[in-house]
Structure 1
Amino acid sequence: MASSRTDPPLRDRRFPASHYWLAAALFAAGAVIFTWPWLFGGLTIPWDAKAHFYPQLTFLARSLHDGQLPLWTPNVFGGHPQISDPQSLIFSPPYFLLALLNAVPSFVAFDGVLFAMLVAGGLALIFMFKDHDWHPAGALVTAFAFAFGASNAWRIQHVGQVLSMAWFAIALWLLLRALMRRSPLYGALAGLTAGFMVVDRDQVAYLCVMLLVLFAVWTLVQQRARDESLGQSLWRNVPALSAGIIVGVATIVVPIALTIALAADSNRAVIDYPDAAGGSLHPAAFFTLVSANLFGTDGPMAAYWGPPASEVWGETGLALARNMADVYLGAIPLLALLCLGLVRGGLFARDILMFTVAAVWMTLYALGGYTPAFKLLFALPGSDLFRRPADATFPLGAMLAIIAGYLVHRLASGSLQANARQRTLEIGSAVLAFLACLWIAFDKGRLEQAMLPLVITASFLVLAAVILACARPLARQPLLYIALIAAAMTLDLRINNGPNESTALPAQNFQVLVPGAKDPTLDILRERLAASAAPDRRDRVEMAAIDFHWGNASLSQNFDHWLGYNPLRLKWFADATGAIDAVAVPEQRQFAPLFASYRSPMADLLGVHFIATGVPAEELDKNFKPGDLVPIGRTKQAYIYENPRALPRVLFATQARQADFDAMIKSGEWPDVDFRKTVLLEHPPASASETREPGSARIVTYGNNEVVIDATSPQGGFLVLNDVWHPWWQVEVDGKQAKLLRANVIFRAVELPPGAHQVRFVFRPFSGLLAQMLGHAPR
């Protein structure tokens, strides 16, 4: 934000730099206290952080240390374009660096990087306060509330979104500094960090981009206060803004283009309004701004009674996890917002007004379908790529943290006085906020359950009131006041937003995700896969209904799972197989018409040789018949079966038959053919039906992005690779480009002439993307 008429000249700063460095040091110390249970106490960030993001990191690290690029993975969903996946961490600088330095990153390292990014964001906001000569005590309030408050604390398992918020705080500081100093260097740095924010390609990044644009425009308009016209202000900032735009666009253009291409080919190309509205934030969630654990968010799931729990609130139509409805920032920020912001009018001060406007915007967005405003907001370009307006609680928390810190600055600086009437209203507003929590607990019949959280809330409200009341008496002791703020914020957030079932579970619960982990179920699968290995085989497994975090274990353990855990999947694969985003519980193991049971040509073509299920297979497969699968083991977690009909990864078909793949996907009807001899093609050559002598094929090398196969046949035919087809895969026969065919609905094939040939399948996403953009890629 540009300096206003009331900003002091740089040489007349009220607060020396040492005060901000003390604030930064105290914030870092508080961060150590807050994060200790994760980094040193045997706990780890659970749910998506481990079930989804940690396996992505292990695949990235293994690929880099094996000398391979992590462009494509064969380990999940029959093959998946990692380079396009916004959650693969490939374009995340801190995690890419961790993968580069460590072949097997630990849980502590994974969590440590995420917390370090939040600390970096908090430090950036302290420096932003320094740039504006705002009180270091206010800077501390903002840093703590940003890093360890609201969604950054309660939804820390959503790694990509937390990273986006951390980069946003850094980009915001650099952007405002660039505009204050009209500096192309800081403009370029702002563009770079904003680009790092965007490459996580989530809704939080999308919203934060709009906020950065808002802040840039607002700042340029404000600079008119220095006797400039808007045109002059814009012209003088052209170098800084241009540097930021150029660097930012250069940083994001490739990742964004890759992800847009994946989205167009995925199971969720766009989200319609009703689906998005189902991810709205329930208005009752704002009770947690007053009392963090009012609804029992930190306890057992069975004890949670907040929205959208249907037995308490009725049918809401919402699809949100309980921790998505917690926005607690701390008692000091709450009282600052209520008393200093609303009652004394500090929310509308010129210096902070743009953050207030942004907070209102993010509130309306988060509430989604609960306000008519969301229909207009959902019409913004790009909104229909995202399914959960409640994600706006991330930037909302940041806006409220900054506003609260600014209000503490005004109080501690003596520039926000109150009269007797206002002081009475302040006490009344704080008491009313507490009584509202008491009333909702009573109204919903949960007063007894809410009593302990309410007692804790009352205690911290009193502590916060005392500390805020000390602001003026301690005006001549700023270092003491800074220390008091640091201690209070650390204690408050450590107790109210500290480790709980949503954010911290024992690390040992997730050991199956550690590369090379010893586990009875994994051991049996590894042994069986090794025993079945052959020149033409690379068998797949299925792991279903075992536990939430098992879906992507194959990424960590480096074997091929035909399912996985990911909200994004290739559409043709999902339609043909019925694969959904997760297989944590029995009802999530869905069968499609073309994959109607375990005794299916699709299961055989996928090479699903071994199947581990958390319940007996017949409870998953309603068409199951005795003999369909052969039981081969039983562990504490799983029933383990063999599918003796599983086909090799490579086949040599001597003839082709025409088939309508779309019709097959809808009807579920397979032609009666022997897939060891016949391949289904949508447009087979005229000679494809001729009878030919058999051929053979064997895998020479199999990597992420390249599969080399030797094939021999006396009369030619079709080499079939039972990996998922994608237009960015190319094929070469004896070093010459050949036509890649889509075979057997979702797999790859190439026609070969008679003789011995070396076939090379290569994944080339960048040339493939260019061809797709030019309309030259096969669909």
Structure 2
Amino acid sequence: MSEPALDHASLRRARWPLASVFCIVALAWFALSWPWLSGAVTIPWDAKAHFHPQLQFLASAWHKGLSPFWTPYVFSGSPQVADPQSLIFSPSFALIAALNPTPDFRWSDGAVLGTLLAGAFAIVLLFRDRDWHPAGAVVAALAFAFGASAAWRIQHVGQVLSLGYFAITLLLVARALERGSALYGFAAGVMAGFMVLGRDQVALIGVYVLIGLVIAAIAMAHHPWRALRASLWPLMAGVLGAALVATVPILLTAFFAQESNRPEIDLVGAGKGSLHPAALLTALFANLYGAAGPLENFWGAPSPAFEARFGPLDLYLARNMSQLYLGLLPMLLILTVGIVRGALLRREIIALSAAAAIVLVYALGRYTPGFRLLFELPGIDFYRRPADALFILGALLALLGGYLIHLVMTDTAPRARPWHYVVEATIFLGALGLALWLAWTVGRLPVAAMPLLIALLCAVLSLGALVAARGLSLRGSGLAAAIVLAATLTVDLSVNNGPSESTALPSQSYEVLRADSKNETIALLKRETARTAAPDRRDRIELAGIGFHWPNASLVHELDNTLGYNPLRLRLYSKATGAEDHVALPEQRQFSPLMPGYRSLLADMLGLRFIATGVPVEQIDKNLKPGDLIQIARTKDAYVYENPRALPRVLLVTQAQKVDFDAILTSGKWPQGFDPKATVLLDRTPPPVPTGPAQPGSVIITDYGTTEVSLRVDAPRGGFVVLNDVWHHWWQAEINGKPAELLRANVLFRAVAVPPGRSTVRFVFRPFEGLFEDIGKRLRAERTKLQG
């Protein structure tokens, strides 16, 4: 029996040089990624200061047989399982953590770059499915992986991961709709689930773009109702896949956010993160504003130089957040063939063109009237920076640029008319003139001169390569054309979007974040905390004002830190201690009414024993008096002090008192005569305790893990065991293996009432049980509201 004949589309796909194109993209990716993969440089800033310590903690916990759902090493304890940036639910980072107990920087950098490669491969498959020219696929893939924010903001690991998942999801959604496949629909849902697990703005915008493209595909089908019916099963399968992956983690984060420090973001606040229109010039002139460094050279919006000439902008953007360059080759075609000659209005691409236009309107934020409407979409008001849309905008522009390459290579692009040339020349000369005028006006013409010259050289190179590639393609050498354009774009991107102060610093800069670091300060803190350790003691440290990448070093070296680096923290802890999201500079160590300084009762109750600061501690805490802290060392990095009044981690007390915790937090005043070694403060009526002559008792720590703490108690007359760890209602308590009531103690900590005699007390972090209880409470509250 003969094989059934393949349809024409299948035959074309079979002839499409998929393996060769994959190789071209992979080789270009390897060349562009080599500075990081070699270990010579590493992705800096947040990638190291925040995300690499998260990976190291995850790996260390797993290889020690511990749960990574709670960490005691930052902010005196934090629920990692609910933190969208903890990497627990990131497949690539979770795999690294499972394989390597001490992953170095190349592992974490490789995971980020590898995700971009996976997204680039997805774009190649998308082009292959449409039988678009291989050269277009190569250009789109490389511009996606190394263009715009994917290149300039690679240190924002979570957003880069969301971008990679977006490209893969787009491919799977397209296949699900085109083939009516529930399997592809389910796979698309799973990948979309991983995308939204980033719980960042890139994921949210990506979801909206995908929804819009699905609606457009159905509405623009030749038979919309038939297309809608055919898409129901794939879409339902997609919803199921996304729900299975993302529901529980998102709910954990949602409930965590309710009790976190997350501020409300209004339209005005979000507008402060808008992309300034002048930044659009970076689509043609990479590094026009000196964003690659050094910092004093940067003169774009916002910067002191720009604002000195044009007035205050009230924008809050880092210098690398406004970079749109993704290669001159795709941008030249988008402006000429795509916009001036109208190719982007063709039926097969107009949905992507419309999506790119809407995303650009959103990125420009308050500079466009459409932002007010877009800000009303669900979830948008969770985020404060419209300029983050440049991640998705870069992906969409890469696709459009690749499509236009396809038209040029297949000789199906719109023919240019004389007026087209006039308009196109006007656009480019106008952009060049505007760039020169801005640079001259701000007084930074010397800084802008080199980027403009490089842009002109890249334009000549790109146009020459385009002409040569088109000739090769029309002669039947499509793969050769792809190689020519890949080589050209690789050179372009390596020169213009290559390593910079924003994206690559020497690996040695972050030596303290290596698990095997020999850093003097870290070694000293490890020795000192080991020296003072006791059956009831587990002393905490604080790292303040030493440098940007220092606060989360405690996650790497397993030091119980009162501070850390994370934009999401428990509101209760921040209010009680004054802890901000970061403490890189001395002035970023803020105190609170309840903890007005290091000489305070709360600091002692936290067991804050050792404090390492980048400047003399008196410059941070101006209330300190001589003798309040004892300086024990001066290392290369820090001044190190000891607080001799730090209390043990666990206490056994026999007295309890009901108080108003909110009043204490606000006023900073403890009840008169309060002694935490004798009395526990509760927010409810204390349970009865047997009376009688006081008898000595004891409590010791028998096991201290990440999500379990076991204590052995000898309380002749009963009382209260106070564990000076941060209170959270997802923790539970057990006495002799039976559930006991977990009490919030002394405003910030945990306690449990123990019976007379000897007992074993166990504190266990059970976030999933806690989540289900929270959901139940919310449903009951909503039911009561409706009934009322």
Shorter-chain TM-score: what band? Answer: over 0.9
Residue type at the aligned position of 2:683: E
Q: Is 2:279 the counterpart of 1:271?
A: no
The corresponding residue for 1:382 is 379
| CA deviation profile, 1:358-417 (whole Å, cap 9, x unmatched) | 111111111222223222211111112222111111101111111111111111111112
Give, in whole Å, the separation in 1 of the partners of 2:107 and 2:554.
20
Residue type at the aligned position of 1:636: K
Q: 2:304 aligns with which of 310, 313, 320?
A: 310
Give, in whole Å, the separation in 1 of the partners of 2:584 and 2:10.
61
The corresponding residue for 2:204 is 206
Give, in whole Å, the separation in 2 of the partners of 1:357 and 1:759.
61
**SS class of match (2:412):** coil
Q: Would the aligned equivalents of 2:39 and 2:106 in 1 still touch at CA under 8 Å?
A: no
**SS class of match (1:684):** coil
The corresponding residue for 1:166 is 164
Counterparts of residues 554-569 of structure 1 (less than 5 Å): 554-569=554-569
Counterparts of residues 194-273 of structure 1 (less than 5 Å): 194-223=192-221, 225=222, 228=223, 230-268=224-262, 270-273=264-267
The farther-off stretch of 373-382 and 85-94 is 373-382
**SS class of match (1:651):** strand
The corresponding residue for 2:456 is 458
Give, in whole Å, the separation in 2 of the partners of 1:697 and 1:69.
25
Residue type at the aligned position of 1:73: T
Q: Would the aligned equivalents of 1:727 and 1:778 in 2 still touch at CA under 8 Å?
A: no
Counterparts of residues 334-483 of structure 1 (less than 5 Å): 334-416=331-413, 417-474=415-472, 475-476=474-475, 477-483=477-483
Percent identity, aligned pairs only?
51
Q: State the TM-score, normalizing by the size of structure 1.
A: 0.96
The farther-off stretch of 370-379 and 356-365 is 370-379
The corresponding residue for 2:59 is 61
The farther-off stretch of 723-732 and 183-192 is 183-192
Q: 1:764 aligns with which of 748, 763, 766?
A: 766
Give, in whole Å, the separation in 1 of the partners of 2:456 and 2:606.
59
| CA deviation profile, 1:4-47 (whole Å, cap 9, x unmatched) | xxxx940563x764534322211111111101111115100000
| CA deviation profile, 1:492-527 (whole Å, cap 9, x unmatched) | 001100001000000011011111311110111011
Aligned-residue offset at 1:487: 0.5
Give, in whole Å, the separation in 1 of the partners of 2:706 and 2:417.
69
Give, in whole Å, the separation in 2 of the partners of 1:344 and 1:468.
17
Residue type at the aligned position of 1:568: L
**SS class of match (1:632):** strand
Structure 1, unaligned runs of 5 or more: 1-7
| CA deviation profile, 1:556-584 (whole Å, cap 9, x unmatched) | 00110010000000011111110000000
Give, in whole Å, the separation in 2 of the partners of 1:197 and 1:17.
32
Aligned-residue offset at 1:681: 1.0
Give, in whole Å, the separation in 1 of the partners of 2:264 and 2:174.
34
Q: Would the aligned equivalents of 2:16 and 2:128 in 1 still touch at CA under 8 Å?
A: no
Q: Would the aligned equivalents of 2:733 and 2:763 in 1 still touch at CA under 8 Å?
A: yes
Aligned-residue offset at 1:555: 0.4
The corresponding residue for 1:678 is 679
The corresponding residue for 1:492 is 492
| CA deviation profile, 1:443-466 (whole Å, cap 9, x unmatched) | 211111211111101111122222
Give, in whole Å, the separation in 1 of the partners of 2:371 and 2:729.
37
**SS class of match (1:748):** strand
Give, in whole Å, the separation in 2 of the partners of 1:16 and 1:707.
60
Q: 1:329 aligns with which of 314, 326, 330?
A: 326
Aligned-residue offset at 1:269: 5.4
The corresponding residue for 1:10 is 9
Give, in whole Å, the separation in 2 of the partners of 1:557 and 1:400.
43
Using a 3 Å threshold, how does the CA distance of structure 1 residues 776 and 175 change in structure 2: closer, same or farther?
closer
Q: Would the aligned equivalents of 2:657 and 2:686 in 1 still touch at CA under 8 Å?
A: no
Q: Would the aligned equivalents of 1:338 and 1:430 in 2 still touch at CA under 8 Å?
A: no
Aligned-residue offset at 1:472: 4.0
Q: Would the aligned equivalents of 1:366 and 1:391 in 2 still touch at CA under 8 Å?
A: yes
The corresponding residue for 1:589 is 589
Give, in whole Å, the separation in 2 of the partners of 1:683 and 1:694.
26
Q: Would the aligned equivalents of 2:201 and 2:388 in 1 still touch at CA under 8 Å?
A: yes
Aligned-residue offset at 1:433: 2.4
Give, in whole Å, the separation in 1 of the partners of 2:353 and 2:509.
42
Q: Would the aligned equivalents of 1:605 and 1:722 in 2 still touch at CA under 8 Å?
A: yes
Q: Is 2:783 the counterpart of 1:746?
A: no
Q: Would the aligned equivalents of 2:541 and 2:611 in 1 still touch at CA under 8 Å?
A: yes
Residue type at the aligned position of 2:749: F
**Aligned-residue CA RMSD (Å):** 1.7
Aligned-residue offset at 1:311: 3.3
The corresponding residue for 1:51 is 49
**SS class of match (1:622):** coil
Give, in whole Å, the separation in 1 of the partners of 2:84 and 2:687.
42
Aligned-residue offset at 1:734: 0.8
Q: Would the aligned equivalents of 2:39 and 2:507 in 1 still touch at CA under 8 Å?
A: no
Using a 3 Å threshold, how does the CA distance of structure 1 residues 302 and 620 change in structure 2: closer, same or farther?
same
Aligned-residue offset at 1:688: 6.0
The corresponding residue for 1:4 is none
Give, in whole Å, the separation in 2 of the partners of 1:776 and 1:653.
35
Aligned-residue offset at 1:302: 1.4
Residue type at the aligned position of 2:421: R
Give, in whole Å, the separation in 1 of the partners of 2:721 and 2:478.
76
The corresponding residue for 1:727 is 729
| CA deviation profile, 1:206-265 (whole Å, cap 9, x unmatched) | 111111111111111222x2xx2x222111122222211111111110111011011111
The farther-off stretch of 147-156 and 661-670 is 661-670
Q: Is 2:717 the counterpart of 1:715?
A: yes
Give, in whole Å, the separation in 2 of the partners of 1:365 and 1:646.
51
Give, in whole Å, the separation in 1 of the partners of 2:400 and 2:778.
51
Using a 3 Å threshold, how does the CA distance of structure 1 residues 686 and 730 change in structure 2: closer, same or farther?
closer
Q: Would the aligned equivalents of 1:294 and 1:453 in 2 still touch at CA under 8 Å?
A: yes
**SS class of match (1:69):** coil
Q: Would the aligned equivalents of 2:273 and 2:317 in 1 still touch at CA under 8 Å?
A: yes
Residue type at the aligned position of 2:423: L
Aligned-residue offset at 1:342: 1.3
Q: Would the aligned equivalents of 2:535 and 2:700 in 1 still touch at CA under 8 Å?
A: yes
Q: State the TM-score, normalizing by the size of structure 2.
A: 0.95
Aligned length, in residue pairs: 767
Aligned-residue offset at 1:687: 4.1
| CA deviation profile, 1:321-346 (whole Å, cap 9, x unmatched) | 11111111110011011111111111
Counterparts of residues 86-101 of structure 1 (less than 5 Å): 86-101=84-99
Q: Would the aligned equivalents of 2:183 and 2:237 in 1 still touch at CA under 8 Å?
A: yes
Residue type at the aligned position of 2:589: R
Using a 3 Å threshold, how does the CA distance of structure 1 residues 242 and 532 change in structure 2: closer, same or farther?
same
The corresponding residue for 2:609 is 609
